[in-house]
Amino acid sequence: MAMIDELLAGLRAAGEETRLRLLFILSRGEFNVSELTTILGQSQPRVSRHLKLMVEAGLIQRYREGAWMLFRISTSSGNAELARSLIRFMADDDPQVARDLERIAQVKAQRQADAQAYFAENAENWTAIRAYHVAEEKTEEAIRELVGDVHVDRYVDLGTGTGRMLEMFAPLADEAVGVDLSREMLSFARANLGQAGLDHVQVRQGDISGLTLQDASADLVTLHQVLHFLADPAKAIAEAVRLLKPGGRLVVADFASHDLEFLREQFAHRRLGIAHYDMTSWAKAAGAKVTKHEQLSPPAHLAQEGLAVAFWVIEKA
C-alpha cells in the first residue's frame, strides 16, 4: 500500500499514453531499453525519459545485467499494487494494445533466434556430456517426484542456465526467480520462458556465492547441475539455505562422485561430482539437514565410464 503522496506520484507518472503502454508491455515480461524502443516505435531518449519517471514513481524497477539495463513491473514499492491494478484495466483488444502485443511477440521471437545461435555454438558440449548419464527425462522425472506438485509462494532456481527448472516448477509458484552468472544463458532462459508464456518469472544475473536475494524468502529452491562448476559448493549450499523460509525445501541434483577427469579439461567442471558425505556436511554447516537422498545409475552399457546423477532434499534443521 502507498502513502497519499506516493500514490499521487504513481498516478501522475502513469497518466500518459506511452507510460500506460509501458506498464502493459512490462506485464508481459522483462525487456531492455532497445527492445522497448522497438516495441513502442519511439526514440531511445524518449523511452528512457518515460522509464526514468516510472522508476522514480515506483511503478517499475530497473536492474543491471552486465552492459544491459532491464526493466520490469515493481514488486516491492508502495506503488507496485497500483501498477498491477492499472494493467488489469487495459483491454487486450484495444487497437494500440493489440499492436504492442504483436511487436512483443516479434521481439521475443528475435530473442529466441539470438539465443538459439548461442546455444547452437555450445550444443556440442551439452550433447557430449549427455551421452554419459541417464536420459534427461528420467532425471526430470526424479526431480518432479521430489518437488511434488504443491503450490508455493516463491520459488528460486540457482544457476538457471536455459531456464529448464523454471519451466518445470514456476507454474507451481506465485513468484519465481532464476539466477545465473552468464548473460548468454539468461538470454536463452528469457527466450524460453517467454515462449512458454511464463511471464511471471524473472531471471537475473548474479553469483550463487553472494546472492542479493532476501533471507527466508523462498519456499522452494533448486540447484540443478550447477555445483560441479563451483569452486566453493559449500558456500552455494549456505546461500541456498539462507533463502529458505522455515519449512522451505532445497532440492539439489548433480553428478555423484566420479573419476572422469576429462570433464575438468574439456567441460570446465571444477569437481568430479558431489559426494553424499560432502553434501551432508555442507548442509549441516549451513544449519540444515539432508532429508532425502537418491541416485540414478548411468546406463548399464557405460559401466565404469558413466555418470550417476544424485538428488538431495535439504531442509532447515
Ligand X SMILES: C[S@@+](CC[C@H](N)C(=O)[O-])C[C@H]1O[C@@H](n2cnc3c(N)ncnc32)[C@H](O)[C@@H]1O
Query: Which residues bind to ligand X, rule: CB under 6 A?
Result: 159-162, 164-165, 179-182, 185, 207-209, 224-226, 229-230
Least distance in angstroms from the C-beta of 268 to ligand X: 9
Least distance in angstroms from the C-beta of 11 to ligand X: 39
Least distance in angstroms from the C-beta of 271 to ligand X: 12
Least distance in angstroms from the C-beta of 42 to ligand X: 34
Cα–Cα distance, 9 to 276 (Å, whole number): 54
Least distance in angstroms from the C-beta of 273 to ligand X: 13
Dihedral, CA of residue 79, residue 80, residue 81 and residue 84, to nearest 10: 120
Contacts of residue 288, Cβ cutoff 8 Å, sequence gap at least 6 = 237, 241, 244, 250, 314, 315, 316, 317
Task: Name the 3-class secondary structure at 235.
Answer: helix
Nearer to ligand X, 99 or 130 (CB): 130
Least distance in angstroms from the C-beta of 31 to ligand X: 21
- Using Cβ positions, the residue closest to ligand X within the complex turns out to be 161
Nearer to ligand X, 53 or 186 (CB): 186
The edge-to-edge listing of strands for the beta sheet with 201-205 is 201-205, 173-180, 152-158, 218-224, 244-255, 309-316, 288-296
Nearer to ligand X, 84 or 235 (CB): 235
Q: Which of 6, 276, 271, 263 is nearest to 133 (CA)?
A: 263
Nearer to ligand X, 73 or 201 (CB): 201
Least distance in angstroms from the C-beta of 185 to ligand X: 4
Residue 307 CA neighbour count, 13 Å, CB half: 25
Tell me how far apart the 2 most distant CA atoms of the chain are, in Å. Answer: 69
Nearer to ligand X, 11 or 146 (CB): 146
Nearer to ligand X, 112 or 160 (CB): 160
Nearer to ligand X, 230 or 250 (CB): 230
Cα–Cα distance, 189 to 278 (Å, whole number): 30
Least distance in angstroms from the C-beta of 207 to ligand X: 4
Contact yes or no for 287/247 (Cβ under 8 A): no
Nearer to ligand X, 179 or 241 (CB): 179
Q: Burial, 101: exposed, middle or buried (Cβ in 10 Å; 0-12, 13-18, 19+)?
A: middle
Task: Name the 3-class secondary structure at 316.
Answer: strand
In the chain, the amino acid numbered 164 is: R
